[in-house]
Amino acid sequence: MFFLREYSPALIYLCFSLILASVIFGASYTLALAESDNEKLSSYECGFDPYEDARNAFDVRFYLVAILFLLFDIETVFIFPWAASLSQLPPVGYWSVIDFLFELVVGFIYAWQIGSLDWE
């Protein structure tokens, strides 16, 4: 009895979310148009034709740019909590993030200098 009284809100939430997810999935499955055209079958961002032989050689530059984007994007996410708590930080915390930003800028300049950000 204790179990039902304590966890009944979570059980109600779980049942409601499962029903809502089922309704949304069913509606999108029945209402969505499944017509293919040339635009849908064309290559998107990776530059590959979607229906060709998987053993063809591919361009590694796309993956290099994607990895560098993720690297710099994730590193810049660390700046937001630092900026939000800047007034409560001790001097060591402030200068640690300044050092982090300096290393981030040096890494970006290095990646730019060696041409890893150039697509051509």
- Which CATH architecture group holds 57-120? Up-down Bundle (1.20)
Q: What is the DSSP string of 70-105?
A: HHHHHHHHTHHHHHHTGGG--HHHHHHHHHHHHHHH
Residue listed under structure tokens 């179990």: 3
- Report the distance separating Cα 38 and Cα 69, nearest Å: 30
pLDDT of residue 53: 63
C-beta of residue 47 within 8 angstroms of C-beta of residue 62: yes
pLDDT of residue 115: 83
Domain boundaries, the chain: 57-120
pTM: 0.47
- Report the distance separating Cα 120 and Cα 60, nearest Å: 12
Closest CA to 77 of 109, 96, 104, 95: 104
Residue listed under structure tokens 């994730």: 74
pLDDT in tens, the chain (120 residues): 677 788 888 999 999 999 999 999 999 988 887 777 776 666 665 555 556 666 667 677 778 888 888 888 888 788 888 888 888 889 998 898 899 889 888 988 998 898 877 776
Residue listed under structure tokens 């994607």: 66
pLDDT of residue 26: 94
